[in-house]
Chains A and B, each alone.
Chain A
Amino acid sequence: VAAYRGQHICWPQPGETALAELELTPEPGQAVVEVTLSVSNPGTERARYLQLPNASIGFPHVPGFGSVGRVVQPIAGLAADDLVAIRCGPHQSVAAVAPQRLHRIADGTEPVDAALWQLGLIAMHGLGLGAFTPDEPLTVVGAGLIGAIARRVAIARGTPRCAVVAASAAKRWTISPEPQTKFLTTDDAASGAEQHPLVIDATGTAEGLAAAMAVVSDGGRIVLLGSPRCAAAAVPMRQIFDRKLRLIGAHIDTLPDWSAALGADLMARYTEEFFALVGSGRLTAADLVTTYAPGQAEVLYRQLAAERRLVGAAVDWSRVQARPGPLLTSCRTRREPWPPLRFGLVGCGDIGAENARTITQSTGCRLVACCDSDPSLAAGLADDLAVRATTSLADLLSDPDVEAVIVATPHDTHEPIAVDALAVGKHVLLQKPLAADLPAAQRIARAAADASSAASVLLPGRYSAAYRFARQAWSEGLIGRPAAIVATYLVNKNPSYYRGGYSQRAQSDWRLARARSGGGILIMNLLHHLDLAHAMAGTAADWVFARTAPSAYSAEIEDFASVMVGFGDVTATFVGAASVLEPPGEQFRVWGPQGHCVVLPAWQLSSRADSDVGVRARPEPDDPEMAAIDAFASAVRSGVPPDVTIEDALAVQALVAAGYESARTGQPVDPQTLLQPASAS
């Protein structure tokens, strides 16, 4: 029996993704398929990747929920070179598959749609249990992939009207090819203005069920298609009785039971219908799926875990051959899919030295040069790290060995350095903030938009395991609809800090001059928390209200800032001060009716939805700064936008600017009004 070799995506442990070599030997009766494309089931895979409640799996694990490819080792009924879809096929370039998980498809069939076979079955099973009839309207709660497929199947079957209810507008774009579909926010849904007799809840959250109750008409049916990620949840039983509703659990594992109860082979029936709809072009979800190269696997799952706009994900294996040859690595041995990104450091002071050391310890990056206008700073650090030193930015930017620059200079110099670097095609990773003020930040954003290279801002808090799990707890409903965020950044900065930073490596008074630093505690420190809250909320701020008090060391900058920000329904309060004796440091917490999550100083989650979750989801210690720099390198190498985009950084800079403006005027400020086009100067 021949052995086949290829590659697969695997998770050696929770939250970690690797691309590894694969060797398989088919069992008797199995066909071997050279896979060209595989797809994810985003909700389930996200939960498994993050080890959320009710998503326990063993590790290492090979994710993936369906694939397509060509038969290379035929079996009865399938010839070599036949194009087939594989139900539940994992993300791997070659697969040995039993015939019941294979379906021959016609050439020309959209591969993404064919690979979504299992997800189509899940959606059809939900509609079946909900007794959907083509003449009735349908509402789907949740704008993810399963919900989208459910509504598109309903549309293909002829439903006259469809509605989708979502917590945010991040996935509104998914309805663009659906003229029958109306997009509602949960607030719209709560008004009960539009009710339908059948509602599919594809969220699995308490909020999703509440929205479903609001949009179902009396006597109607609610299908629980999304997997709840908590041990127990409050079910509105009285309302079910009073309104004569029907609540129906729908898991794909019950399809055989339901088939037996009806005396029909629903798997075959749904499969036949699914491929008929896909083949005729009446059903497609390909527009909802982002395709990644196998080498981008890490990016795929990082984005799946954190990016609200991502709906579906596929992996293109078409350039990976099921080839003979030596087994290079196993799932447990991570293989670096690309060479390290070669950085030049600009600014060898306090933070620059820290960044440089992080880069030298990273496997995804390499430091090749240090640049500082102070020759002793540049040479001292370069000697320590055994790299080249220069005092000339132009010299650094003309060095072909430097692919990217990491900029750790006074804030007012970010703009000229970033603009020059981007102009010569260097990738740019800036220390926060994006710039000293909003107009300069906008000019950097414009330069980045015009550049062929990538640009981002180093905001390591986004990469802490605690933040990642908090974000997930939020989106999975473990804290309920978030009510508030409270963050404090209380530190005690000695007078020496303002002239030499924490390390005293470089003496300068730029931190005390507003024109150079942009301000004090708000832009220097609270900005980190503003970014976390902005990223967590996933929505633009509506208003900012702030008060500040000047520093004893310079009246130009503030020592104290108290800032309130409205992110839709969520009010976030930030307090920062730089002269607190015996300071408590950083604290960041978010809570809602179902739970309370502490991100800083130490992860803690209490949830009414699952009393065990705090124990099970406790993140391991991690290195957010290295993760942030590695993620930037990974994005550059794989050609996808960085996780922290310049638009993100600009939005946070606008929050800071709105805070200063509010403190100046005593009035709340809408940060969007400040984001006017930058002047040409």
Chain B
Amino acid sequence: VTTWTWVTRQATGAGTHRVPPPAGSVAFVNGGTAADLWGIMRPADSGAGQQAARQFLMLARAAVAAVPDGHRVTVSGDGMLAYLLRRMLPEFTRTGSAGPVAVIETTGLPASIREATAKLPRLGHLVLAVPPRDAETDLATYADLHVRGLTISAADEASAPAAAGEDEAVVAEALQLLVSVTPGMAIPGGALWYAMYAEVPE
């Protein structure tokens, strides 16, 4: 079961947890340019990075599995999950010009969710790849959802396809892109993802 966390980028550039993490844990935070970023928590042991990379891969696979057949897919967000999805999706699903459209939403932020629903064409499909930050999001229920016949659904890790043989190469690549930060340290702006420790490791 994924344990989710949210990190806010302060004016100083330092990231702070919305809810203080337990001691001895590490948050693997999905990077990007937004002020609020989600992450997953893991015990800060030696294999944590590798397990987190596999978890991100699982999230990506679950999101792709939630897209109905035949849909052209776009991905919202600029963190590691979006990177993995774009890497995973066949080129034609991102560039094709015909057929219904799906957006995989990877930020969990209300503005991004609203923007995705506003841009989806008729019978478009919004897949929530991660839990939304807020319990409720204000949407144009008439103009967007009802009239254009949009569908909103959620990725389900339980229904994600099993790991494939090429996963290890992806995990290794993700680990190379992982940046470590400690409390009080500025979050690197361009990082796809980073490990944020609850305390300075000994």
A residues at B contact (CB < 8 Å): 53-54, 129, 204, 209, 224, 227-242, 244-251, 253-254, 257-258, 261
Contacts and interface: CB of A to CB of B under 8 A. Distances in A.
A245 B149 contact: no
9 contacts: A234-B138, A235-B139, A237-B134, A241-B131, A247-B151, A248-B150, A249-B151, A251-B148, A261-B100
A244 B62 CA distance: 12
A147 to B, nearest CB: 15
B146 A251 contact: yes
Given A234-B137, A235-B137, A235-B139, A248 B128 contact: no
Interface residues of B, number: 32
Contacts of A224: 141, 145-146
Given A231-B142, A254-B122, 11 more contacts: A53-B142, A228-B142, A232-B138, A237-B128, A237-B134, A237-B135, A237-B152, A241-B128, A247-B153, A249-B141, A254-B149
Contacts of B123: 254, 257-258, 261
Nearest to B155: A241
Nearest to B99: A261
B149 A251 contact: yes
A235 B131 CA distance: 13
Given A246-B153, A247-B151, A254-B122, A237 B137 contact: yes
Contact of A241 (B132, B142, B147): B132
Contacts of A249: 141, 144-151
Given A246-B151, A247-B151, A237 B136 contact: yes
Contact of B152 (A204, A230, A233, A247): A247
Given A236-B136, A242-B131, A246-B151, A257 B141 contact: no
B113 interface: yes
Interface of B: 70, 99-100, 113, 122-123, 128, 130-132, 134-154, 156
A235 B141 contact: yes
A209 B138 CA distance: 13
Contacts of B113: 237
Enumerate the 4 nearest inter-chain pairs by beta-carbon distance, A residue then B residue, closest first: A254-B149, A249-B145, A234-B136, A237-B132
A240 B146 contact: no
A245 B128 CA distance: 11
A595 to B, nearest CB: 14
Contacts of A235: 136-139, 141, 145, 152
A258 B152 CA distance: 16
Contacts of B131: 238, 241-242
Contacts of B150: 248-249
Nearest to B152: A247
Contact of B122 (A54, A240, A257): A257
